[in-house]
Structure formats: C-alpha cells, structure tokens
Structure 1
Amino acid sequence: MYRVLIADDELIERKVLYKTLTKELGDQCRIWQAENGREALELFDEHDIQIAVLDIEMPGINGIEAAQEMRRRKSECSIIFLTAFDDFSYAKKAIGIRVLDYLLKPCKEEELISVLDEAMRLADKAMQEGKEEEELNIPEPALFKTSAELNTGDGQVRLHKVAEAIRQYMEENYVKDLSMQDVARVMNYSEAYFCKLFKQCFDKNFTTYLTECRVEAAKNLLKEPMVNVKEIGEAVGYNDSNYFAKVFKRVTGISPTEYRMSIFNRK
C-alpha cells in the first residue's frame, strides 16, 4: 500500500480530495489528512509518507515551507502542489524543490489520478533501487535557451514555437524518467513559470501529456505482432508490465492485448 498525505486547510476541499482518491486508489493507498503544514510534517514523519499532495496557502507553515522540509527529510518523496494560485506567486519561491507537478484547482479528476499514478510508479522505482533517484543528464535542446528569446514577435507565434519545441523534446525523450523540472531546466525556465506555460500550450498538465505520449507510442508498437506486450512497455518507459497495462487501460479504456486484437480484427 502506498502511503499518501493530503494537506489542505479548507475542510470541504480536503474531504472531497480524500473521497476522490479513496474511490480511485483506495485499494492501493493509505491516505492521511492534515489541515496545515505543521500537522502535515508530523504525519509525514510518523507514517513515512511516499506521496504528498499539498495546498500552498495554509496557516502557519505553508505548503512551500512544508514541501522544502519534506524534500530535506526524504529526497525521494513525490510532492504535488494542488493550488488555487494561478499566478504561482508562491510556487516561484520553490524553484529548488523537485515537485512532481503543479495542479490548479479545480482540477480534472483524470489529471489528478494520472499524476498519482506517476507518483506511485516513482515510489516503486525508489523502493526497487533502494536509493535516491539519480539526476538525469539530459542534453539541452537547440531552441529557446533563454526565456528572453521569447519576448520578441507576436505572442501567439512565440507560444506556438514553444509548444513545438516542448513537443519535439518530449517525443524524443519520453522513454526516460522525465519530470517537469527536467524539461523546465533544459528550456531554461523556472519550474513555476514552465508549469503555467505548459498548461497554456497543451491545456493539460505535464504528467498527463507525458503519459499520453507513451501510450501513443505503445499503440504504434502494438501494430507489430512479433513484439510482446512486456517489451513494448519497456520500450515506452515502463519496466513493470502490469503497471504499463494499467496505465494503458486507464487512458484508452482497453488493455494492450485487447487493443492489439482490435487492430487485427479490422484487417
């Protein structure tokens, strides 16, 4: 069972989030609730939390401060911000925190579950390796090495070029353990700004887009009858074939094997 913590000072929002996660992931996770950052840190230590979903604006110790302390205490923990601050004025203070994703309230349920799925995969990876996740050594792309280069010309043209650069980079690197921070870094943006920019470009969060890239690549590979499903999962970034099948079915509604059969039945 994965150990998940949700922290939000708004009782109704916290209860709704708890109910959503329990409904979708209750058979896989134990979930604790905190109403402020101080209580969140106590539960974090007491239960050795693997995944933390934090609001940013909380009384006393806020979400940024709690996340910084969580990262110091347990570097492999997956931290997700779920906030109503669309300008990320608070999140900009957390550039040094390796946050898995920023989600804006109200958040689509499928996006939230997609991010939690990725957090669980990373928890599995951390347990299997028995050590902290290594930093990726990713080469910088040729386009947009500084954000200043985007401050000229028509805004929509610039946004289109940024979207194409991000899309190309992720299509070339989706098989790696990419995080939002990795791509933000190579694009030379702060994490908070890149998160907002990404949502503007693709109308979805980073983790959902990454998952869709992997699933689309898997669909193409499933057209090859001589390649087994486990090999296809590994080829698109999933070393656990069961996890790959779970993600594929959540995105497409059918299993990889069923998808393959549907292809051949149409021929």
Structure 2
Amino acid sequence: MTKYKLYIVEDEHLIRESLKKQIRELEKKYLIELVGEAGDGEIALPEILALQPDILLIDIQMPFMTGIELSAEVRKSLPQISIIFISGFDDFSYAKAAIHLQVVEYLLKPIRNHELEQTLQKVMNGLAEKKDKKHERHEQSQVLEIEVKKNLYLNQVFKGEINTSQAISDGADFGCDMRGKKYQVILASNFVNQTFNDYAAFKDKLHGLFSENPALIFSSISSRYIKILLFNLTETELIEMGNTVTTTLISALEATNPITVGIGKVVNRISEIPASYESAQNCLLSNRQIANSSLGKYDEVIQPVLEYIDQNYANFDMSLQDVVKLTNTSSSRFSTIFRLAMGKTFIDYLTMIRIEQSKKLLRDTNASISEIATRVGYYDSNYFSAVFKRKEMISPRIYRSSFRK
C-alpha cells in the first residue's frame, strides 16, 4: 500500500533530530515515510513543491520565512496537503492563523511521543477518508457516465435514429449481443402521476435486479420512464422474461413508488424496435397496472378476459369458469395461456386489480373500509382487509392514513 509522505520544517536542530527519531519509530508501525527536512521555510518551499508530501510538520516561529507564511505559499500549490503546526507558545493569534490556513492539528513543544503518534494517526485517518471519498466520487462519475450513455443508446434505438450495424456495435460496448432472434421494449412509469421525482435513486436497486441478465439492458436516468430492452430471445422466452421483469419491478419499487408497466409488442428486427417502443408507450396510457401488447397469438384469448375483468372486478361471484366461457378453450388450457401471457394466475391477477382499485378509493375518497370492500368485489370487509394486508404488508386503514398526514 502507498505510504503517506511526511516533511519536517523546524529551525531548532535538536528538536528536528528528535522529531526525525520519533517518526523513524512510527514508520515501523504505520504507513508513513519521512521524505525530507529543512531548517527554515525558504529552503523548504521548493523541496516541498517538488516532493509533494501528504503531511507537513511545521514550526511556526522560524527565520527568513515563518511557518504561517510557508503554509500560505504551500496551500496555493498543494491545497489538499495536511499541515500540523508546532509551537513553543500557546498563543491565540497562532490558533487563528491555523484556522485560516486550514491547519489540521496544533502541537505544543516539547512534543511527547504519544502526542505525536496520536496526532499523526488522526491526520492519516483523515487523509484515508478523503482518498476514499475521492475514489467513490470518481467511481460514481464513471457509473453516471455509463448510465447517461446507455440512456442515449436506448433513446436512439427506440426512436430509430441509428442503423442496425451501429446498434449492434454500440450495444457491444455495454456487453449486449444485439444480433438475431427477437426484441421487446418495457417501460415503467409512476402509477399515480406518470413521473418519478428521481429515477437515479433506483439505479442501485435496478442494478441489483437486472445487471446479471445477459439479455437485458436498462436505463433509469430519464425524466419519464425506466427503460428496458429485452433482446436476443425467442418470442416465448421474451414473453416469459417480460412477465418476470414486470413482476420484479413492481414488487421492488411499488412500496415507495406505485408504478405502471407497459410491455411493448415482440418484434423481429432491430429496425422494428421503435414499433415495440410505441406500443409500450400506448400501454402506459391504459388504466391497468400492467398493460401488455406482446400477447401475440394469445391476444384473441386474453384481451376479452382483461376487458371483462376491468369491467366486472366488483362482481363478488366472478370465477374462472365465467371468463373461460369467453375464450372457447378449456379451463386448463386457458389457465396455461393466461399465466404465460400475464405472468400470474387468473385469481392472482383479479386480486391485484381489486387491490389496486381499493388503493385508489382509499387515497381519493372518504368511503368506509366496508364500502370499499364491497365496491371492489369482497363480501366480507374483514377478509378484504386480510387480503390487502397480505399483499401490501399494511392494513387498509394505515395505508389510507399515510396519505392523509
């Protein structure tokens, strides 16, 4: 590991030699290295600027150039350096100068071994913290740059602004193999007001959810959507993954930001991705939490059922048999198609719609819990409350109160 470089400026020879001896001992215990010494500030200044030490140990009272004058000159070229003043006088005027020059420590002569050790430990800890923060800022800057580039890339692909060859080439920069098979766009937006306050806040969570998926690229830096592109999969794989991604997004983000998800249609070519993007945007205009335009060959079976549920979810007696009658299929066949297309069973989907409608009523009306239960298809308000709590992890009453504060 890199050692912290230290330079001593002290005009009294015996004190300087004593400090050197103390520091030589500390070099055995800490990542610190004495790189130079001088008896006055005038001689020290060019050496300090050349060596660029991390820590300066400076006597305040010296001939030719005082420690205060030397510190001021050094600060101009090395603003990050840590300065420790040494003085034989406990003078408030020196303390004021130290504050002005951002001196980190102030030692009084004679300097005891443990005092010097404690002071250097404190200074080194401060330097390490600064280094960590600088490294963290650098990493954050790099990550942000990549996120901005991904967002630009997805915008260009979604709007057809780059050709197929460039889309493949640029996608490779993000580790994406955009060649072949089929493609699908997924957009997520806020379920309440269609905007997020800060998409970047979801970046880490989304990375944790999706960064290991080799068939997915996403961007959360947008004023409108979380953007996801699925690629290089078959149609069946896309439908299944689209449903998995949608379910994951909702379960991960809905607790703090209720969202709606638009799933674009499956397309065969990169040049057709704008059509998938447009259909995903259109899906977001619907009133359903999950709107899917990728149903393809299942559309004739699923679409009438979704419309029926939207119009009749308040019906206490709605059952699987009721909706199967709309499809000209068997119950088992319909259940398989519905789960594949929607990513959940018919009962789970119906429950989701009922709970979402109840949340709107809890937020926007003064209707009683019992009345809301009836309006979304539950005979028993206690059973409704139990289902609501199981899905939302809080009771309807607490959910409502969180919007009334």
Taking structure 2 as the reference length, the TM-score comes to 0.31
Return the structure number with greater strand share.
2
- Point out the structure with max Rg over C-alpha: 2
Taking structure 1 as the reference length, the TM-score comes to 0.46
| Higher RCO, 1 vs 2 (CA within 8 Å, ≥6 residues apart) | 1
